[in-house]
Structure 1
Amino acid sequence: MKEKKYLITVVVMMVAAFISALNNVLLNNALPSIMDEFQIASFATTQWLTTSYMLTAGVLIPASAFFITRFKSRNVFLTALMLFNIGTILAYFSTSFSFLLVSRIIQACGASVLSPLLMNIMITVFDREDRGKAMGMYGFIIMFAPSIGPTISGVLIDFFNWRALFLMILPFSLICLIVGFFKVDSLLPVDIHKKMDYLSVVLSGAGLSAILLGVNQFSNANSNLLISIGIIVVGLILVGLFIKRQFSIGNPLLDLSIYKFPMYALSSILLALLAMLMYSTMVTIPYFLQKVQLQSVSISGLVMLPPSVASVIAMPICGRWFDKYGIKPMAYSGFSIILITTLALSQLTMTTSLLWIVLVLIVRNVGTAMIMMPIQAYGLNQLPDKLNPSGTATNSTIQQVFGAVGTSVVTIAMTSISSRQEISLQGQGQLAEKALLVAIDYSQYIFVGIAIVALVIAYFLKSKSMYKAPVLEV
C-alpha cells in the first residue's frame, strides 16, 4: 500500500461493501415469508424485490464512473451509504409490499455505487505490481457475503421474521457512516469540469435494464418468449445508441476508449465468459439437489457452503499468485479446472453422493478464484489511471449482464431438454426426476464449450503486460 494512513479509509469502505453485498443475498430466503405477510398470490410478483434491485444497479453502475470522477470519493461514499441506510430503515418499517419495493430500490441506489468505488480506491492505494493482492482482498469481501448470507438469513427467519434481516445490518451500516464521516479521506482525483450527459444515462439505464429484464424473463416459465426477445432487442438497440454516443461526444458518461487497449478488451471477454460459467452452477446444483435428489432446502444450502468458503479463502492467495506469475498461467489453470469440473458435473446421477458434489464444487470454485479477480486486475493494469473509473464500472456491468445471461441459458436448456425427455421416458418411474437429471447433465455441455472458448482466448493474453505512462522529453 502506498500510504499506511489510507488503511482506515480502505477498511471502512470494505466493511460497507461487505454489508451491501450481504444485503443483496439476504432477502432470497425471505420471499415466501413476505408473500404470506402481504398476501401476495404470485411468487413472480414477490421476485420484483430482487429484480428491482438488479435493475437499479443496471442503471447506476455505468453512471458510477461519472460520480467517482466528478465528486470527492469521501462525499460519494457518504451519500451512497446514507441512501443505503435510509432504504434499510424504510424496509424494516414497511407496511405494504409496494413500500418495501421502493425501500429496496433506495437501498440499491446506494449499494450499486459502493462496490465500484471500493475497487477504484483499492487500485489507487496499491501499486500496479501489487494490484493482484488488492483485488484478492476485494474478492474476499465480495465473495464472503454470498457464502454466509443464506445461512444467516435462514437462522434469522426461523427464529424471528424477515424484518430481522434489515435490523441486523442496520447497526453496522450506521457505524460505517459515522466512522466514515470523521475518518474517511478523499483518495481519488476529481475532475470538476466533467459534466453529466443525461441522454447517456437514459440510454444506458434503459438499455441495460431492458436486457436484464428480458433475460430474467426467460427464467420464468409463464413468460411470453416473443415479448422477452422483444425486450432484449430493444435493450440492445438502446445500448448500441449509448455506445455510439460515447464515441461522438467530448464528455462521455463512460469512456469507452478503454477498448482501444487490446489486453483490456480480451480481459473483458474472459470476464464475461467467467460470469456465465459461475452463475450457471449456482442454478443447476441447487436445482439438482432439490428437484432430482429431493433434498431439503437446508441440505442444499449446506452443500453450497464449503465451496463458497473455499473461494473466499482462495481469493487473496490467487491475488498474490497473479502478482508473482502473471495472468497467463492463472487463466490457463483456472479455465482448465472449470472445464474438467464442468465435465464431471455432466455425469450426475440419481445416487451421486453429496460429498462428491461438494469436493467437485470446491475444486471448481478454486479454479474460479484463480481467474475472477486476477483477470480484472490484469485488465485495469492496461489502462492509464484516469480511465480506472470507466474500467471498473464496465467490469461490474459485464458481470451483472453476463451472469444473468448464463442463468437464463442454463434455465432455457434445462426446460427444453426436460420437456423432450418426459415424452421419451413415458411409462417409467420417477419420470420428472429422470427428465430433469438428463436436462441438467446435458446443459453442462454448453458450458464445456464456453470454457474451451475461454482457454483459446487466454492464449492471446500477454502475461506481464502493464500500462506505462509515456516519458516526456525535456
Structure 2
Amino acid sequence: MFFFLQIVLTGLLKNKGEILPLQSDFKKFPIMLGLLIGGFIGMFSETALNIALTSLMKDLHITASTVQWLTTGYLLVVGVLVPVSGLMIRWFTTRQLLLSALSAFIIGTLISAVSHTFTFLLIGRLVQGIATGILIPLIFNTVMAIFPPHKRGAALGVVGLVIMFAPAIGPTAAGFILGKLTWQWIFWVMLPFLVAALIISAIFCKNVNEVTRPKIDVLSIVLSTVGFGGIVFGFSSAGDAGWGNAKVIAALAIGVAALAIFSIRQLRMEKPMLNVRAFQHKMFTIGTLMIMIVFSIIMSSMLLLPMYWQSGKLVAVALTGILLLPGGIVNGIVSAVSGKLYDLYGAKWLVRIGFLICIAAGAMFICVQTTSSFLFVIAANLLLMVGAPLVMSPAQTNGLNALPKEMSPDGSAIMNTAQQVSGAIATALSATLLAAGEHAYTGAGGQSAAAALTNGVQYGFMFTLILAVIGFALSFTVQTVGVLEKPRDQQRKMQLKKETDSPC
C-alpha cells in the first residue's frame, strides 16, 4: 500500500514555493482550512454510517456481521496507515500529501455514493480510510510546525473540534438525511465539502515540513501493518465471532507479536520509521493514554446511544438525529474553547474536571430505562459532550509539547494510531457488552426486545464509566509542559528587568 501511494504522490503537483520558515508570520488559516475540512469529513465518516446500518442491511441484502465491515474496514485501513504517516511526512511535501489525500477521499466518496452492491461500497470506504489515515496525522504535524508553543493550545482546540465534534455529529447528520433521503446521500453530502477543500488547498497550501527522504525499511512497514491491522481486525471481529473464536485469537496474537518485534526493531535502528522513544517522555505517554481513553468514550457512546434511541425508546431515525444534536453542538463549542483554556491554565485541572464530568455522565447512562425521560438522556449526553472535549485538546497539546521538535511527526503519528486503534477496540467491546446485556435479560425470562436492548446499553455504558474513572485517576499524574505566559508578558518582564538593572 505504501509503495502504491509513493508512486501516486510522486506524480502529483510539484512543490509550490519554498518550505515556509517554522512559526513565521505567514497566514496560517488558509493553510489549515483544507486540512481541517478534510479531517472533519474523515472523522465524520467514522460514525455517520452507524445510524444507517439497518437501512444498508435491507437495501444490500446483507447480514449484521457483513455490514459492520463498512466501519471495521474503514478503521482497519486508518489504523494500518497512520503509523506510516511519520515516514510519509518526511518523504513527501505537505502539498503532495494533502492534495493526494483529498483526491483519494473524493474518489472513495464518489464510489460509495454510486454503489448499489456491498463490494463497491466497501471499496469506497477503504479508499476513504486511506485518505483519513494520511490527513489526521498531517493536521497535527502542520499545527506543531506553524504555531509557536504558546499558541498551540488554541490551534489544537480547533483541531479538537474536528476530532471530537465530527464523530459526535455524524449520527445526527445521517439521521436528518435518512429521514428524507436514501443512505447514498450521506456520501453525496460529503462531496461538495471535499471538492472545496481540494480547491482551497491547491490555492493556499504551503509546504511546512522538511523533506529528508530517509531510507525506507520495508520490514518495519510490514510489521507495522500486520501488528496494527491484526489488533484492529481481531477486536472488530470479536463482537460477532466471539472472543473464543480461533480467528479472533490468532489475529490478536499475531498483531501483538508483530508490534512487539516492530517496537524492538525501532529502538535498535539509528533512524527508525516510527520513533517509539517518544514514550520516554512521561507527559507524552500520559497524554497518549488519555487520548485513547477519551476517544474510546466517544466511540462507544456513539455506538450505544443511537441504538438506545431507536430500539430502546422506539424513536424514528430522523428524530434520533434531532435528539443527538444538542450533544453535538455542545461538543463543538467545548472543543473550540478547551484549547484556549489550556493556553491560559494548563492541562492539569482541565483534564481532571473533564473526566469528573464524564464519570457523572456515565453514572447517569447506566441508569437509563425504557421509561427514562428524554430530558434525562439528553442531559447525560450533554455532560459527556462537555467532559470528553475538555480532556482531548489539553491532553494532545500537553503531550506533543513534551516532545522535542524533531519528534513531532512521530508523536502525532503515535497519538493518532493509538486513537484509531482504541476507537476500534472500544467499539468492539461495547458491542460485546451490549450483546451480553441482551442475553442476560432474555436469559432471566425477559420478553421485551426494547428492554433487552436497554439492558445491553446499560452494560455498554458500564465500560464508559470504568474508562472515565481510570482517566480521572490518571489525571493526577499530569503536569503542564511549557510556559503559559504570552510573549507580551515576557516582554514586559524583560523591560522591567532592564529598568531595574539600569544605573539611573
- TM value normalised by structure 1: 0.89
Say which of 144, 149, 164 aligns to 1:143: 164
Partner Cα distance (1:8, 1:382) in 2: 27
Is the Cα contact below 8 Å between 1:382 and 1:466 reproduced in 2?
Answer: no
Partner Cα distance (1:11, 1:445) in 2: 38
Aligned to 2:425: 405
CA distance 1:291–1:106, shift in 2 (3 Å): closer
Is the Cα contact below 8 Å between 1:59 and 1:201 reproduced in 2?
Answer: no
CA distance 1:413–1:88, shift in 2 (3 Å): closer
Corresponding letter in the other structure for 2:37 = V
Aligned to 1:470: none
Question: Residue 133 of structure 1: CA displacement?
Answer: 0.5
Aligned to 1:471: none
CA distance 1:262–1:145, shift in 2 (3 Å): closer
CA distance 1:374–1:83, shift in 2 (3 Å): same
Corresponding letter in the other structure for 1:251 = K
Question: Residue 298 of structure 1: CA displacement?
Answer: 3.0
1:141-168 Cα offsets, whole Å, 9 max, x none, are 3334334433443444454434433333
CA distance 1:453–1:142, shift in 2 (3 Å): closer
Aligned to 2:32: 10
Aligned to 1:355: 375
The reply on whether 1:20 has 2:37 as its aligned counterpart is no
Correspondences of 1:74-85 after superposition (within 5 Å):
74-85=95-106
Report SS of the residue matched to 2:314: coil
Say which of 140, 143, 166 aligns to 2:187: 166
CA distance 1:18–1:285, shift in 2 (3 Å): closer
Is the Cα contact below 8 Å between 1:267 and 1:376 reproduced in 2?
Answer: yes
Say which of 245, 254, 257 aligns to 2:265: 245
Aligned to 2:141: 120
Aligned to 1:290: 310
Report SS of the residue matched to 2:240: coil
CA distance 1:452–1:210, shift in 2 (3 Å): same
Question: Residue 190 of structure 1: CA displacement?
Answer: 2.3
Is the Cα contact below 8 Å between 2:175 and 2:321 reproduced in 1?
Answer: no
Corresponding letter in the other structure for 2:416 = S
Partner Cα distance (1:456, 1:271) in 2: 14
1:86-131 Cα offsets, whole Å, 9 max, x none, are 2233334446432332232222222221111112112222111121
Aligned to 2:472: 455
CA distance 1:395–1:415, shift in 2 (3 Å): same
Aligned to 2:154: 133
Is the Cα contact below 8 Å between 2:228 and 2:259 reproduced in 1?
Answer: yes
Report SS of the residue matched to 1:459: helix
Report SS of the residue matched to 2:480: coil
Question: Residue 218 of structure 1: CA displacement?
Answer: 2.3
Question: Residue 344 of structure 1: CA displacement?
Answer: 2.0
Is the Cα contact below 8 Å between 1:6 and 1:185 reproduced in 2?
Answer: no
Q: What is the percentage of aligned positions where both structures have the same residue?
A: 29
Is the Cα contact below 8 Å between 1:123 and 1:134 reproduced in 2?
Answer: no
Question: Residue 47 of structure 1: CA displacement?
Answer: 2.9
Aligned residues: 462
Partner Cα distance (1:281, 1:385) in 2: 35
CA distance 1:51–1:382, shift in 2 (3 Å): same
Question: Residue 256 of structure 1: CA displacement?
Answer: 0.7
Partner Cα distance (2:242, 2:278) in 1: 40
Report SS of the residue matched to 2:477: coil
Say which of 346, 354, 357 aligns to 1:334: 354
Question: Residue 340 of structure 1: CA displacement?
Answer: 1.9
Partner Cα distance (1:92, 1:411) in 2: 27
Is the Cα contact below 8 Å between 1:421 and 1:438 reproduced in 2?
Answer: yes
Unaligned runs of 5+ in 1: 468-474
CA distance 1:271–1:6, shift in 2 (3 Å): closer
Corresponding letter in the other structure for 1:285 = L
Is the Cα contact below 8 Å between 2:173 and 2:321 reproduced in 1?
Answer: no
Corresponding letter in the other structure for 2:309 = L
Correspondences of 1:102-121 after superposition (within 5 Å):
102-121=123-142
Partner Cα distance (1:27, 1:422) in 2: 28
Partner Cα distance (1:198, 1:87) in 2: 27
CA distance 1:412–1:255, shift in 2 (3 Å): same
Corresponding letter in the other structure for 2:92 = F
The reply on whether 1:383 has 2:400 as its aligned counterpart is no
Report SS of the residue matched to 2:368: coil
CA distance 1:303–1:191, shift in 2 (3 Å): same
Is the Cα contact below 8 Å between 1:275 and 1:399 reproduced in 2?
Answer: yes
Question: Residue 414 of structure 1: CA displacement?
Answer: 3.4
Is the Cα contact below 8 Å between 2:175 and 2:317 reproduced in 1?
Answer: no
Report SS of the residue matched to 1:347: coil
Say which of 298, 311, 318 aligns to 1:278: 298
Say which of 372, 379, 387 aligns to 2:392: 372
Aligned to 1:441: 458
The reply on whether 1:306 has 2:323 as its aligned counterpart is no
Report SS of the residue matched to 1:219: helix
Partner Cα distance (1:221, 1:300) in 2: 29
Aligned to 2:491: none
Aligned to 2:201: 180
Question: Residue 189 of structure 1: CA displacement?
Answer: 2.2
**Larger deviation: 146-155 or 97-106?**
146-155
Partner Cα distance (2:427, 2:461) in 1: 12
